Structure 1
Amino acid sequence: MIFQAIFDCMDFTGWLLFGFVLLLFTDVVRNWRPHNLPPGPWAMPFLGNVFTGVDFKTMEKLAQEYGPVFSLRRGSERMVFISGYKMVKEALVNQLDSFVDRPVVPLFHVVFKGLGRPFNPHYTITNAVSNIISSVVFGHRFEYSDQGFRKVLELDNEAVLLAGSPQTQLYDAFPGLLKYLPGPHQTVHSNYKEIVMFLRKEIEKHQEEWNANDPRDYIDVYLAEMEKKKEDPQAGFNTETLLVCTLDLIEAGTETAATTLRWALLYMIHYPEIQKKVQEEIDRVIGQSRHPTMADRPNLPYTEAVIHEVQRMGNIVPLGFPKMASKDATLGGYFIPKGTAVVTILASVLFDKNEWATPDNFNPEHFLDSEGQFRRRNAFLPFSAGKRVCLGEHLAKMELFLFFASLLQRFTFSPAPGEMPSLEGVLGFTHSPEEFKMLAIPR
């Protein structure tokens, strides 16, 4: 009787308030922090920590406050962040099988000049690097004048930048709602649709010209496997999967290596004395009569040290790629349930004050021993580690060495007059240099 009387007296506003309180209570109960889960900042009802910065500098501050293993909540999904070389190594190497799955990331899940004058090296470098993986995947390279391919590179660059913004990250917290609303996530999706159309045309052209007895590249080999497994749809070899694999290869084989090389040029502009030492070593070992080869790499320790320091300071993928706990695990004394998204903060390893003499300074000596020979560092993890280490690590290292050594063998790089570019960087999904102009003077 009492409840009936209360219900009879409630107007629309009362029901609205009652509904809100009920939803709030449900959210609190549903998202109550489980016992011994990693600590983290207070999470707003419904939204969680979606307004907490997603950049590595914010992550560093949170790690200082809550420890090397902490958590944030986006919507109703909780994500664990792991900071510092010691704890990242524990997660990726010592607990080799604990964090090897991949979470579903809704934002990406919808995607199945003259030398004497100042110029922007961005797409010259990106096109050059992309032509390597393109030769493997497509069997041919793209000319620098190819506007269609240039457009693909520009679309991908914009998508990668937008993917790291807080506004775009909201999509991963509320994909069901935001897919109907405007925002940068719509630009990311639109860009990838255009890129996929470009890739689909390449695949269709391969299908028209395909010769089972004469495979030319990755796509031809994949088409052969599709033919072999056509009676077994569960095998997963189909055109849509080929599209996704091709996108992965082209994007992964382009963005990070090209961005690293842009950082390399930028650091050489800022540190001309280091650039000169690299050139002197190249002149002494290789000279000017032939191109550098991989056989020269062991004989160029200073050049190798500079490349590694560029990767460390460039900090290309500060938060790594998300992983997911493949089983219940304990890390740093905290319980991490199976299925929890996990982020290993690679920036915290590359700038770990316990591992590097001068972590915030560009210092190739980090990778040189007392005799000036190159030395490997355990805390050098730009490619991550463990079972989910970057598959393209060896190719990327070859590309970085050959491009960097060849460029400094032939050119001296300096800033455009009155335009010393910034070393601050732009934070998207990757950490890339701001657009800049430079001079490339033939040696």
Structure 2
Amino acid sequence: MELLVTGLIIAVTAVLLVYSWGNKVKHSRLPPGPPALPFIGNSLHIDKRAPDRSLIQLSRKYGPVFTVWLGPRPAVVLCGFEAVKEALVNQADDFGARGTVPSIRKVTNGYGIASSNGHRSRQLRTFAISALRDFGNGIKTLEDFIRQEAECLVEVFKKTGESPFDPTFQLTSATANIMCAIVFGNRFDYKDPKLLTLLSMIDENMKVISSPWGQLYDLLPNLLDRLPGPHNRLFENADKIKNFLREMIQVHKDTHTEGKPQDFIDSFLIKMEEEKDNPRSEFSDENLLLSTFNIFLAGTDTTSSTMRWGLLLFLKYPEVQEKIQSEIDRVIGMERTPCIGDREKMPYTNAAIHEIQRYSNIIPLNLPHTVTRDTEFRGFLIPKGMIVIPLLASVLYDPCCWETPESFNVDHFLDERGHLKEKEAFLPFSIGNRMCIGEKVAQMQLFIFLTTLLQNFTIGSLEEPSAIDISPLSSGFSTLHRPYQLYCIPRKSARRPARE
């Protein structure tokens, strides 16, 4: 029996070695990279809690364009601003398709805005960009919704009574309500059971997909589909969220008025009716469901996470908070809620928000791309269908573009006169024809929410600023900050809670 088992192990190993060797011969003009093992590829070279850092470290040895093996699949990594820009802008047609992420593919099956390609992607992205631009052009604009939600957020913060608390739930509720307004046309009370359940599932999924379990699933999906583990919660939660969205879509189908869209779902339903006789139309129930899923989840978590990073950085660097508040007092005062028109008059605040986005590095690996044809790039040949990782972390932390890339430094975005300085390498939303479609919505939320909070409160921590740890907890799919608490002192009071 032992001989049989030993023989099977030797045979399987031999097959895997031959398979791996055959793949390497087939892809012999790929960029260089670290030696890979059969089946597991380069997984031993990559820290599961900080894959972006591992890839940046590998680029120092193998150059800005190199190959890693994600399990049995090779992927080309683009590291640094110049390489990413050259691929996604200068060769946009070659690098413009969305790469397959097994966990996302299982949830979406290629439908929706985020993971579709070709004709489907072009139709859905064009429509979504137009719908987001036109949202709220009636009596109530998107800015009105955000300002109203900012006032609700202030009231919730006031109820903490200067006691320390974790702001995750409040900030996520606020950003979720903006996405609810865009997608569903209404908001939820922060205590609404439906909202609480949704936010709980979103939070759990972001933790799972950014964890070693989530990364392991994307390396070996066929194996992990047959095994128990936390990765299964990702798909259970996704199914529950989709069921909730189906209910909301059905309500819209039953109640929406022709020609008078109130939100994204209404606009999509109208488009479905317009194109019902077009055999090439991608405006179907499945694309409606998954596009709604994409917009709601992406818009909720990334913006909330950026704001949480922002408040953490204000705790670490109270002098930044003080300078923003001085600018708020000078430009806005205390009598009205900040509006987006104030942003141009507030260069320091604007620069600080840009630096929060750069430093927090929310989506460090970017969503993967794939090449649409055999592509020559910097002397290498990348075969059609090859996964490409345009590493956003390497752009936002590129030492060729930033004076102190590893440090939080508002001066990155200020010139010698104190005016906002635009930086070409500022790419938190990526670049090219697959960049995030919600950039303007996110930027508007970040400015109005953060300035409204600092207009009303001075935030503090029971820890000394020097003791606050701003290193990431993990940086898989998303960069997660360490848990923290803050307290809020109304601006009319200077009293500080006693330290524990």
TM-score normalised per structure 1: 0.93
More displaced 10-residue stretch of structure 1: 270-279 or 154-163: 154-163
In the aligned structure 2, how far is the partner of 1:360 from the partner of 1:75? 30
**SS of the residue aligned with 1:343?**
strand
The one-letter code of the counterpart of 1:138 is F
Equivalent in the alignment of 1:3: none
Task: Tell me, yes or no, if the aligned pair for 2:38 and 2:72 is still in contact at 8 Å.
Answer: no
**More displaced stretch, 250-259 vs 329-338:** 329-338
Distance in 2 (alpha carbons) for counterparts of 1:69 and 1:150: 43
Cα pair 2:242 2:293 within 8 Å, conserved:
yes
Deviation at 1:122, TM superposition (A): 0.4
User: CA separation in 2, counterparts of 1:24 and 1:221?
Assistant: 51
Query: What is the 5 A alignment of 1:29-108?
Result: 29-33=21-25, 34-51=27-44, 52-54=46-48, 55-108=51-104
Match of 2:228 in 1: 182
Give aligned-pair identity as a percent. 41
* Structure 2 unaligned regions, length at least 5: 109-158, 492-500
Q: Aligned partners of 2:480 and 2:452: how far apart in 1?
A: 22
Question: Which residue of structure 2 aligns with residue 26 of structure 1?
Answer: 18
Q: CA RMSD in A?
A: 2.0
The partner residue of 1:336 within 353, 370, 382 is 382
Change in 2 beyond 3 A, CA 1:41/1:208: same
Counterpart Cα distance in 1 of 2:8 and 2:165: 60
1:161–1:429 contact (8 Å) kept in structure 2: no
Equivalents in 1 of 2:235, 2:314: separation in Å? 36
Counterpart residue type for residue 462 of structure 2: A
Q: Does the 8 A contact of 1:168 with 1:183 survive in 2?
A: no
The residue aligned with 1:265 is 311
Query: Secondary structure in 2 aligned to 1:268?
Result: helix
Task: Specify the SS of the correspondent of 1:387.
Answer: coil
Query: Could you say which residue in structure 1 is the equivalent of 2:489?
Result: 441
Instruction: Provide the rounded CA distance (Å) in 2 between the counterparts of 1:305 and 1:319.
Output: 24
Answer whether contact 1:106 1:175 (CA < 8 A) is retained: yes
Residue 219 of structure 1 and its aligned partner are, at CA, apart by 0.9
Equivalent position to 1:277, from 308, 323, 326: 323
Higher mean C-alpha deviation, range 105-114 or range 132-141: 105-114
Kindly indicate whether the alpha-carbon contact (under 8 Å) linking 1:122 and 1:435 is maintained by their aligned counterparts in 2.
no
What displacement does 1:232 show?
4.4
Question: How far has the Cα of 1:374 moved from its partner?
Answer: 0.6
**For 1:219-240, what per-residue CA distance to the aligned partner results, in whole angstroms no more than 9, with x for missing partners?**
1221222233334464232222
Query: In the alignment, is residue 16 of structure 1 matched against residue 8 of structure 2?
Result: yes
1-structure distance, mates of 2:297, 2:331: 34
Of residues 71-80 and 46-55 in structure 1, the stretch that sits farther from structure 2 once superposed is 46-55
Aligned mates of 2:42, 2:189 — CA distance in 1: 45
Q: How far has the Cα of 1:282 moved from its partner? A: 1.0
The residue aligned with 1:219 is: 265
Give ranges in structure 1 of 5+ residues lacking alignment.
1-10
Q: State the shift of 1:212 in Å.
A: 1.9
Counterpart CA distance in 1 for 2:13 and 2:105 is 33
Letter in 1 for 2:470: L
Q: Deviations over 1:372-418 (max 9, x none)?
A: 11110111111111111211111111111111111111111101367
Aligned length: 433
Task: Return the match for 1:324 from 350, 370, 386.
Answer: 370
* 1:242 to 2:288 alignment: yes
Q: Structure 1 416/256 Cα, relative in aligned 2: closer, same or farther at 3 Å?
A: same
**C-alpha distance in 1, partners of 2:71/2:463?**
48
Displacement after TM superposition at 1:132 (Å) = 1.2
**Secondary structure class of the residue paired with 1:259:** helix
Distance in 2 separating the partners of 1:305 and 1:73: 38
Alignment of 1:379-390 (within 5 A): 379-390=425-436
Equivalent-residue separation in structure 1 for 2:411 and 2:464 (angstroms):
30
